[in-house]
């Protein structure tokens, strides 16, 4: 049992030597990227989607007139200037 404890202590001491942030206070370290940052991003994305759905439901864009299958639009390269 004592050998196992020595190995654990040795592992912890070796990782502490290589840890550049071991002396930093906890508030400077912040929070880990996953899951904290991912949850915040997920909530923001969902809020944007909900906002888009609500706006598109309440304020729909005007529709163009229905297509008439018996009339065709004017075609031709010389008529492009009339569309502006």
**pLDDT over threshold 60, residue 7:** no
**Domain segments of the chain as ranges:** 32-60
pLDDT band at 53 (very low <50, low <70, confident <90, very high): very high
Would you state the pLDDT for residue 43?
97
- Cβ atoms 21, 29 nearer than 8 A: yes
Q: How far apart are CA 6 and CA 3, in angstroms?
A: 5
Structure token pair of residue 15: 């990782």
- Which phi and psi (to 5°) does residue 22 adopt? -65, -25
pTM: 0.46
pLDDT band at 59 (very low <50, low <70, confident <90, very high): very high
């Amino acid at each position: 049992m004592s050998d196992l404890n020595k190995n654990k202590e040795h592992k912890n001491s070796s990782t502490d030597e290589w840890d550049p942030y071991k002396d930093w206070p906890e508030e400077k370290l912040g929070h880990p990227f996953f899951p904290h940052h991912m949850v915040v991003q997920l909530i923001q994305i969902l809020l944007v989607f909900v906002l888009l759905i609500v706006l598109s439901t309440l304020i729909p864009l005007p529709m163009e007139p229905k297509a008439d299958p018996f009339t065709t639009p004017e075609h031709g390269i010389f008529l492009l200037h009339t569309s502006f």
